[in-house]
Amino acid sequence: MKLDFFNIDTTKDALKLLHRLLSLLVPRLVLILFLTLSVGACREHRLVAVESDTDTAIAYGDTIIMGTIGDATNLLAPLASDASSSAIIGHVYNGLIRYDKDMQFEGDLAESWDVSADGREITFHLRRGVTWHDGEPFTAADVMFTYRLMIDPKTPTAYADRYKQVEHASAPDPYTFKVRYAEPLAPALVSWAMGICPAHLLEGEDITTSPLARNPIGTGPFRFVKWEPGEKIVLERNEDYFGGAPYVKRVVYRIVPDTTTMFLELQSGGLDYMGLTPLQYARQTDSPAFMRRFNKFRYPAFVYTYMGYNLRKPMFQDKRVRQAISYAIDKQEIVDGVLLGLGQPATGPYKPGSWPYNPEVQSYSYAPDKARALLDAAGWEITGTDKVRQKEGEKLAFTIVTNQGNDQRIKAGEIIQRRLQEVGIEVKLRVIEWASFLKEFIHPGNFDATILGWTIPVDPDGYNIWHSSKTGAQELNFIAYRNPVVDELLEQGRRVIDIEQRKPIYDRLQQILADDVPYTFLYVPDSLPVVARRFHGIEEAPAGIMHNFEKWYVPQSQQKYKR
């Protein structure tokens, strides 16, 4: 696919080719092997090959082309709930605060903040001189507008709850914003990491029909240029960014729904960045030729993959069925066979090793005999010649839906399908394009079961996903899970600030989730990004490699795209 706005310096490319031919006769490569290096235990190893005289001088310019399997759906921060949209929003908008490389809070649009002794009031001191991408000044009025937008019942957002906890909000001057909560709220501060919206463009408008959903205007390091649905989204450097203009001039997200095709594009030079599959990472990227062109990274991802059950469906309303399915699935088989060991089994919604994680919960190790016994006890018996269990004339059969382009989920679904067949459950697997998957299946609850993933938040508050009040249209508890004890724990956990007091609450929450099995938690994969070697300044950290993206650069002699 040709990107018509690129102007490649073909003379320079020819010289590079000549240089490579000469290098066959005059060896000039120095191979450096980095083994078992880690930043906060986040990387196992990286293999790179570098030329002894490589230019590393910082320079402005060039384009990075990033592969993504799914198109964005909405580029207004309050309305976006998918990863593809959030990736773009993260470049275009700023929150009041953000996480640094070590996953600690630091200022973004707010230079600093004060928290009252009782934990109920936060005063944000905003940066001066910040402008929106259209040149209008950013002030506390924009923050106040965003707050009101989030609590407006007409705003179809999944994130309103934390803002509704605010008892009083005020903007006493253009550079101060205050909020006071009726009760202490543990995730109060992190809620202000959400992208702030421009009041001068949205005031009095219907946010659901705003052109900013497809043509966003933010304060972030990159400006929106264009969106060709199903093809690409283009961003350009914000020369007036308050944090300093990024070095890279242009960012292009290319939508490539198939990871095999994406990898071919990477190898041919059509992409500079993608997330590798485990197979690609382990078996297709260690050749000297590949290592001369790319750097690859590995660290535990802040995501988990699960199979969620639509609890509106009668067959899933007996938890013994859900427990049986969990026992029938060999999670380690999925980690070994699909992830090639590049990940670990999941037992709950928190990252193993993090403070909220409870290692003592029921893990549902592979036990097909237990699965059969639970299904027998629930009244599902094998009576026909097709070996599919039945109850009152109804077969124990359902369809798993997942999204196109994610081979790990698809292959996991195939393994699950085979394992469930062995205990008398008939399963079909349906793979759907991302936008249609969300719009036609997930959001309206039009599915039996789904294989999906959630980002693991640093703060463990899972109110939006697990609370019984969050089962409405466009909300995140789309499986319709309801448990009054879980509701109470979620409400209690968000009111406690001290970690030592919070941990027992979330330990108990995980125990109940493990017993109820609204999800079968499958695995926590490793993140496996690969980046073209001409990009320098990449810094590995507990937050991953994207935390300092604005500081990535390409030395002048290595730049590929000149305008």
Residue 237 has pLDDT above 60, yes or no: yes
For 443, counting Cβ atoms within 10 Å of its Cβ (0-12 exposed, 13-18 middle, 19+ buried), the class is: middle
Helices within 425-498 (DSSP H only) = 434-436, 463-466, 484-493
Stretch (H or E) spanning 412? helix 407-422
Confidence of residue 52 (pLDDT cuts 50, 70, 90): very low
Measure the CA–CA gap between 502 and 248, rounded to whole angstroms: 42
Overall domain count for the chain: 3
* Spatial CA neighbour of 555 closest among 61, 54, 56: 56
Q: What is the pLDDT of residue 82?
A: 87
Same domain, 122 and 58: no
**Residue 563 scores a pLDDT above 80:** no
Last residue in a domain, options 192, 213, 234: 213
Give DSSP secondary structure letters for 486-535: HHHHHHHHTT---HHHHHHHHHHHHHHHHHH-SEEEEEEEEE-EEEETT-
Whether the pLDDT of residue 27 is over 60: the answer is: no
Q: Is 324 left (phi over 0), alpha (psi -120 to 50) or beta?
A: alpha
CB 352 within 8 A of CB 524: yes
Instruction: Look at residue 400 and tell me if it is in a domain.
Output: yes
Segment 504-544, tens digit of pLDDT: 999 999 999 999 999 999 999 999 999 999 999 999 998 99
How far apart CA 549 and CA 236 sit, in angstroms, is: 13
Q: Angle 319-328/407-422 helices, nearest 10 degrees?
A: 110
The verdict on residue 75 lying in a domain is no
427, exposed or middle or buried, with CB in 10 Å at 0-12, 13-18, 19+? buried
Q: Is residue 262 in some structural domain?
A: yes
Q: Which residues pair with 110 in a beta bridge?
A: 126
- Residue of 49 and 498 predicted with greater confidence: 498
Region 138-161 average pLDDT: 95
In the predicted model, is pLDDT for residue 20 greater than 70? Answer: no
The answer to whether residue 256 scores a pLDDT higher than 90 is yes
- 3-state helix/strand/coil string of 347-389: CCCCCCCCCCCCCCCCCCCCCHHHHHHHHHHCCCEECCCCCCE
Same domain, 228 and 317: no
pLDDT of 22 higher than 50: no
pLDDT band of residue 11 (cuts 50, 70, 90) is very low
Summarize pLDDT for 394-435 with one digit per residue, the tens: 999 999 999 998 889 999 999 999 999 999 999 999 999 988
Q: Alpha carbon of 24 to those of 20, 29, 33, 520, 557: distances in Å?
A: 7, 10, 21, 53, 21
- Over residues 354-380, the pLDDT tens digits come to 999 999 999 999 999 999 999 999 999
Are 374 and 315 in the same domain? Answer: yes
For range 462-469, the mean pLDDT: 95
Residue 563 lies in a domain: no
Range of the domain at 17: 10-69+221-298+528-558
| Average predicted confidence (pLDDT) for the chain | 90
Q: What is the pLDDT of residue 81?
A: 80
Q: 128 pLDDT exceeds 80?
A: yes
% of the chain exceeding 70 in pLDDT: 90
389 and 472: one domain? yes
Kindly tell me if the per-residue pLDDT of 158 is higher than 90.
Answer: no
What sign for the dihedral angle of Cα 207, 209, 214, 216?
Answer: negative
CATH number at residue 52: 3.40.190.10
CATH number of the domain bearing residue 513? 3.10.105.10
Q: Residue 353's pLDDT is what?
A: 87
Residue 464 half-sphere exposure, CB side, CA atoms within 13 Å? 21
167-216 pLDDT per residue, tens: 999 999 999 999 999 999 999 999 999 999 999 999 999 999 999 999 99
State whether 353 and 486 are in the same domain: yes
| Amino acid 548: pLDDT | 96
pLDDT reported for residue 33: 28
Q: Is residue 194 part of a domain?
A: yes
Residues 36 and 150 in one domain: no
Give the C-alpha separation, 278 to 408, whole Å. 9
pLDDT higher than 90, residue 79:
yes
Q: What percent of the chain has pLDDT over 90?
A: 82
* 121, 209: one domain: yes
